[in-house]
Amino acid sequence: MASGEVIAKRYALAVAEHARNEGRLGEVEADLKRLAGILEGTADTGCASELTAFLLSPSLPLREKLTLASRVAERLGFGGIVSGFMEVMIRHGRFHLMPKVIRRYVEFAGEFAGELSAVVRTARPLSESQVRRLSEVLASAFAAPVRMQICVEPSLLAGVKLTVGDKTIDGTVLGRLNRLRHRLTAENLFGVVAGGESEDQTGKKAGDPAVGK
């Protein structure tokens, strides 16, 4: 696991345990998801990209970053846990890890609530009916409530990549192309696919009649 992921997991677990002790798992999750929407530019705030740039800028003084974060938290009505956590991440120079921390927090919150956590990556946004149906299918398959995180990743081209725990089901076009590429490489078939014809060491094409016959 990359160092950034390790750090994000540690922070997320600390916040999740604190929220559980305070009986605010759901409240903190809702606040963090709204923050994620701002940082990822999907929230309708009109200042998402500017906010992210300011908070990550090495040239902006720490005091100004903390003031900005406090104003954002107040404007959006974040509770004390998330407001304080934003301050901690900024002070420690870890704010760039916040999207990873939020994803990890959702996983821990689900575990604490006795639910499975699933990350669903799609090339395009899912409709409400698709999300509802996918949730029903997963709950039935795993015989447990499933908490889903939906991530839109256009690079997947089409389809859905689903991760539940340490299991990944890749139904994307990109995934199928990668699997085909691995198979072609393993079977040394790239030359055939490219239209080439195999030759023996004498330069004679396979299948040519023997010389002298």
Q: Over the stretch 18-66, which tens digit does the pLDDT of each residue have?
A: 999 999 988 999 999 888 888 776 454 444 456 777 878 888 899 999 9
- How is the chain split among helix, strand and coil, in percent rounded to 5? 60, 10, 30
Of residues 127 and 194, more confidently modeled: 127
- Confidence at 211, pLDDT banded by 50, 70, 90: very low
Tokens standing for residue 70 = 């406090």
Q: Are 50 and 3 in contact (CB under 8 A)?
A: no
Most confident of 38-52, 147-161, 162-176: 147-161
Q: Over the stretch 114-152, which tens digit does the pLDDT of each residue have?
A: 777 777 888 778 788 888 887 788 777 776 677 777 878
Determine the Cα–Cα distance for residues 197 and 195; give it in Å rounded to an integer.
7
% of residues, the chain, pLDDT over 70: 68
CA distances from 88 to 70, 172, 200 (A): 12, 38, 67
Instruction: Tell me the residue ranges of DSSP E strands in the chain.
Output: 116-122, 146-152, 160-164, 167-170
- Over residues 169-179, the mean pLDDT reads 65
Residue 196: pLDDT over 60: no
